[in-house]
């Protein structure tokens, strides 16, 4: 344990240095009123890419991952799988993983997950299948992420699990395996560690029986189920997601897999186009239904968004403002909840919580009240995204309230129902913080497109967008965003 403590100290000192270096190279984005035109392709899905890396590492033979997301989080995962015996090689459009298979072993170093909560929660249950101690840490944000649910679940499975700092509920996380039991009852309001246990079951004999008392983020559990079933594992999931059984006891085969585009990243050019006089085509969208974030399309169409989905060409055409197609009796491109029950747009975000930042920006320009409900999971991400969006959008003139389990935005469209300037829409520019949250950075960067001429939004620390969307600035500038760095 002394050696483990010394390694933790060294890693934490290293992260302090990294944090200093990041501050010295911090980057701001300045955005203003722009009209977007052209085609854009968003990168591959982070959720799919990290699952692919971990399962390829546990497989026998060589797997090829096409169209991977080369983001910071995914690169952290690529380094982590080498610690358990896999070999990783990157190419321009394909990553190759030589799996460790039955020779997968205890990590031979502290596992540095960087900024990736997905990697922390996925890999820690897998590490618990090995005999011996594993140590997980990460950057300053990760060292604030809750892990009590992971600790409790692993203890139920017969492991030892601790946090290294008394009185905290965050990494460094210390685990001693192997898993010796096959039944666990856990909350499940955060889905990632449940997916981690499902993947870990591939290394266990018998059936892992998981009972969830409050399952959330259920589309991500379906994504994991589909991955495991494609690799030949037997998985059963109840209709209410409260019971998951995964049969293990056999090796995973190697695979070749193309990673679909990331709906979580797609939300930003989508919203940016709707709040400006824009027409864009988003190419290579994922129509498999494996990503719950595609629900944002129907949410926005319910308030009049002009979004056309082509499931044959796998494209999304988005028209906003004056570029939107006319609907009889409606102002083109005007977003409004006035025709919805009680004049409110109600969105239960639990199935696609990563959309909260983009949706909060869109709601600022929707006439009427938007109530984003069931936001508990959103408070446990890289930041408390409910509070971050409340505080930063308030700086830009948005009437927004954060309650215990909902975010309420009283929005206003720039035009009235008769097409005149809406004096109630008093949104303006300003300077906002990202707090190192990539999704907040991208959402706030898009806010400026809907503002009046002459108003600008300065987004501080926007370099963190690379966590999930490398090349975000260049991709957006390619369709006319005009971001100034």
| pLDDT tens-digit series, residues 226-247 | 999 999 999 999 999 999 999 9
Q: What percentage of the chain has pLDDT greater than the value 70?
A: 95
Task: Output phi, psi for 355, to 5 deg.
Answer: -85, -5
CA distance 269 to 476: 7
217: pLDDT strictly greater than 80: yes
Residue whose C-alpha is closest to residue 293's, from 266, 256, 333, 315: 266
pTM of the predicted structure, to 2 decimals: 0.81
pLDDT score, position 22: 38
Alpha-helix residue ranges (DSSP H) falling in 348-427: 356-364, 385-394
19: pLDDT strictly greater than 70: no
210: pLDDT strictly greater than 80: yes
- pLDDT tens digits, residue range 151-189? 999 999 999 999 999 999 999 999 999 999 999 999 999
CA distance 141 to 326: 45
pLDDT score, position 9: 41
Q: Kindly state the average pLDDT of the residues 92-121.
A: 95
Residue 402 near residue 383, CB atoms below 8 Å: no
Strand 94-100 to 37-41 pairing:
unpaired
464: pLDDT strictly greater than 80: yes
Average pLDDT, the chain: 92
pLDDT score, position 328: 77
24: pLDDT strictly greater than 70: no
pLDDT score, position 25: 59
- Across the strands, what pairs with 319? 279, 306
pLDDT score, position 227: 96
21: pLDDT strictly greater than 70: no
239 labelled catalytic: no
Q: Kindly state the average pLDDT of the residues 38-57.
A: 95
Residue tagged active-site, from 73, 139, 354, 384: 354
Q: What percentage of the chain has pLDDT greater than the value 90?
A: 86
288: pLDDT strictly greater than 90: no
pLDDT score, position 163: 97
Q: Kindly state the average pLDDT of the residues 378-392.
A: 94
3-state SS class at 402: strand
CA distance 80 to 99: 13
Residue whose C-alpha is closest to residue 380's, from 151, 166, 142, 161: 142
pLDDT score, position 2: 44
């Amino acid at each position: 344990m002394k050696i483990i403590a010394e390694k933790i100290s060294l890693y934490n000192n290293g992260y302090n240095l990294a944090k200093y270096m990041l501050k010295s190279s911090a980057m701001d984005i300045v955005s203003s009123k722009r009209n977007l035109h052209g085609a854009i392709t968003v990168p591959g899905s982070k959720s799919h890419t990290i699952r692919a890396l971990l399962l390829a590492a546990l497989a026998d033979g060589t797997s090829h991952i096409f169209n991977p997301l080369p983001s910071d989080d995914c690169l952290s995962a690529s380094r982590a799988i080498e610690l358990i015996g896999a070999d990783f090689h990157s190419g321009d459009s394909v990553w190759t993983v030589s799996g460790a298979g039955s020779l997968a072993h205890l990590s031979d170093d502290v596992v540095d997950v960087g900024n990736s909560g997905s990697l922390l929660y996925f890999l820690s249950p897998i590490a618990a299948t090995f005999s011996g101690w594993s140590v997980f840490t990460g950057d300053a944000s990760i060292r604030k992420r809750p892990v009590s649910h992971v600790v409790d679940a692993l203890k139920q499975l017969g492991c030892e699990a601790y946090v290294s700092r008394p009185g905290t509920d965050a990494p460094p996380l210390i685990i001693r395996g192997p898993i010796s039991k096959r039944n666990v009852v856990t909350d499940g309001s955060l889905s990632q560690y449940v997916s981690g246990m499902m993947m870990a079951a591939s290394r266990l004999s018998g059936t892992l029986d998981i009972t969830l008392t409050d399952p959330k983020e259920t589309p991500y559990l379906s994504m994991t189920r589909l991955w495991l079933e494609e690799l030949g594992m037997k998985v059963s999931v109840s209709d209410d997601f409260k019971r998951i059984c995964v049969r293990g006891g056999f090796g995973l085969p190697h695979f070749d897999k193309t990673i679909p585009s990331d709906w979580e990243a797609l939300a930003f050019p989508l919203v940016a186009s709707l709040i400006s006089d824009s027409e864009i085509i988003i190419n290579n969208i994922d129509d498999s239904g494996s990503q719950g974030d595609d629900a944002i399309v129907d949410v926005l169409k319910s308030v009049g968004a002009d979004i056309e989905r082509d499931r044959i060409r796998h494209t999304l055409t988005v028209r906003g403002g004056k570029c939107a197609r006319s609907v009889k009796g409606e102002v083109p491109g005007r977003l409004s909840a006035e025709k919805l029950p009680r004049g409110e747009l109600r969105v239960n975000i639990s199935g696609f919580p990563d959309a909260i930042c983009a949706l909060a920006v869109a709601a600022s320009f929707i006439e009427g009240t938007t109530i984003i409900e069931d936001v508990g999971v959103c408070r446990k991400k890289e930041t408390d995204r409910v509070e971050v969006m409340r505080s930063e959008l308030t700086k830009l003139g948005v009437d927004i309230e954060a309650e215990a389990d909902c975010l309420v935005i009283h929005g206003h469209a720039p035009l009235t129902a008769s097409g005149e300037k809406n004096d109630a829409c008093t949104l303006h520019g300003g300077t906002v913080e990202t707090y190192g949250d990539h999704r907040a950075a991208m959402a706030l960067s898009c806010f400026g497109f809907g503002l009046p001429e002459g108003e600008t939004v300065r987004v501080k620390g926007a370099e963190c967008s690379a966590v999930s969307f490398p090349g975000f600035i260049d991709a957006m500038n390619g369709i006319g965003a005009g971001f100034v760095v």
